[in-house]
Amino acid sequence: MDFELSQEQRMIYQYGDNVANKYDRKYWMDYAERHETPKELFRQVADDGFLGMMVPEAYGGAGQGMLEMALFMEGLANNGIPLLSLVVNSTMSLGLIAKHGTEEQKKKYLPSACAGKTKFCFAITEPNAGSNTIEITTLGKPQGPGAFSLSGQKTFITDANTADYALVVARTTPHTLVQRKTDGFTLFIVDMRDKGVEKHLIPMSLPMPESQWQLFFDNVPVTEADALGGVGRGFEILFDTLNPERIILSAMCVGLGRYALGRAVEYANQRRVFSNTPIGAYQGLQHPLAVAKTEIEQAGLMTYKAASTFDRGLPAGEFSNMAKYAGAEAAIHAVDASLQCFGGNGFTKEYGIFDIYPVVRLLRTAPLNRELVLNYIGEKVMGLPRSY
């Protein structure tokens, strides 16, 4: 594997450093504490052509791949700027439409979304299904040739309040009536302004600009023209968005861990206690930081491998799950080691280190928890018996 980035890839990676000169961590935290979209930053990213990173240029995008999208996210997170909205909008939704949409769907949705004029959210999780997507009950009930009535409930849907459209994972055949459990899935593009769509805020305890919502669909009319990849073929294309989700979140974790460590190193080189020697010379602090740094860079390499594998059209589940596990664990260890370095100051608003922890800790659990990631690696990669 070639670890050397091209000049264009380096520019994409360094974009986070450039944009942070204007929209820094303090700016991000201001919006995070209010749970509001950082509009100026979002507008800047759109104007600079990064919303449609994985969309062909013919539809208003940048024509790049998963690796470039990961580098973009990592570069932002290196500066303490994690943008979950770019996960559900740019990576999971626009990338999937670009790859599997009809020509009509691409022309209708992609140019305006790449320009930041419209936004997407991605709706898969349900209260009674959770990670068990096979048993989702949101149903597109046939209403005649090419017509369906969509009803059901989704939960933990990021930025549903600001989305114009949702990619909704539904069944057009209930799971109790299919021959294979993966049959009968359909991804519908749903207009969030439809009168049959209802949204309820889920109050969250962590500082993030993005908010979480419950969605209720009550006989929302959709047609075959709204089905992405074809009716009943949703499961075939689902992992073209779930694997990128894991890759991009790993990139976010790597960047946030690196940001925390950078802050800790700066502090440890200046702080002196009991002597004129900086605390960074104490092995009790230095070694945990060094271990965390090693884990972060290892997770970064696995993220690149997963992204490169996906871009080459090869099965990417193995490396995507490993990247997601490695990224979340490394970020948690990095923030924890940094907190210990800062001592009591790490828990203050002034230093802003503890604020990073809830975000990286969330990504151990969401969107797929650590245990199911390890189950996948054990069963699908190593050949061990199914454990659940």
Q: Is residue 388 part of a domain?
A: no
Q: What's the CATH code of the domain at 77?
A: 1.10.540.10
Domain endpoint, select from 206, 234, 262: 234
Q: Is residue 1 part of a domain?
A: no
CB atoms within 10 A of CB 272: 12
Same domain, 157 and 132: yes
What does DSSP assign to residue 278?
A: B
CA 200 and chain centroid, separation: 21
Same domain, 350 and 256: yes
d(CA 160, CA 106): 21
Domain endpoint, select from 234, 261, 288: 234
Q: Is residue 386 part of a domain?
A: no
* Model confidence pLDDT, tens digit, residues 309-346: 999 999 999 999 999 999 999 999 999 999 999 999 99
Q: Is residue 355 part of a domain?
A: yes
Q: Is the Cβ–Cβ distance between 218 and 151 less than 8 Å? A: yes
d(CA 46, CA 37): 14
Q: Is residue 199 part of a domain?
A: yes
| Tens digit of pLDDT at every position of the chain (388 positions) | 667 899 999 999 999 999 999 999 999 999 999 999 999 999 999 999 999 999 999 999 999 999 999 999 999 999 999 999 899 999 999 999 999 999 999 999 999 999 999 999 999 999 998 788 888 999 999 998 999 999 999 999 999 999 999 999 999 999 888 889 899 999 999 999 999 999 999 999 999 999 999 999 999 999 999 999 999 999 989 989 999 999 999 999 999 999 999 999 999 999 999 889 999 999 999 999 999 999 999 999 999 999 999 999 999 999 999 999 999 999 999 999 999 999 999 999 999 999 999 999 999 999 999 999 999 999 999 999 998 8
* Model confidence pLDDT, tens digit, residues 210-232: 999 999 999 999 999 999 999 99
Amino acid at 176: T
Q: Is residue 104 part of a domain?
A: yes
CB atoms within 10 A of CB 271: 15
Same domain, 139 and 222: yes
* Pick from 146, 163, 144: nearest CA to 154: 163
Same domain, 277 and 343: yes
Measured CA to CA in angstroms, residue 261 lies from 71, 76, 294, 340, 345 at distances of 19, 15, 11, 11, 15
Q: Is residue 246 part of a domain?
A: yes
Domain endpoint, select from 119, 139, 157: 119
Same domain, 268 and 323: yes
Looking at residue 8, what is its pLDDT? 96
Model's pTM, two decimal places? 0.95
Same domain, 260 and 359: yes
Q: What's the CATH code of the domain at 155?
A: 2.40.110.10
Same domain, 73 and 14: yes
The boundaries of the domain holding residue 74 are 7-119
Q: Is residue 2 part of a domain?
A: no
Same domain, 240 and 376: yes
CB atoms within 10 A of CB 277: 10
d(CA 308, CA 7): 17
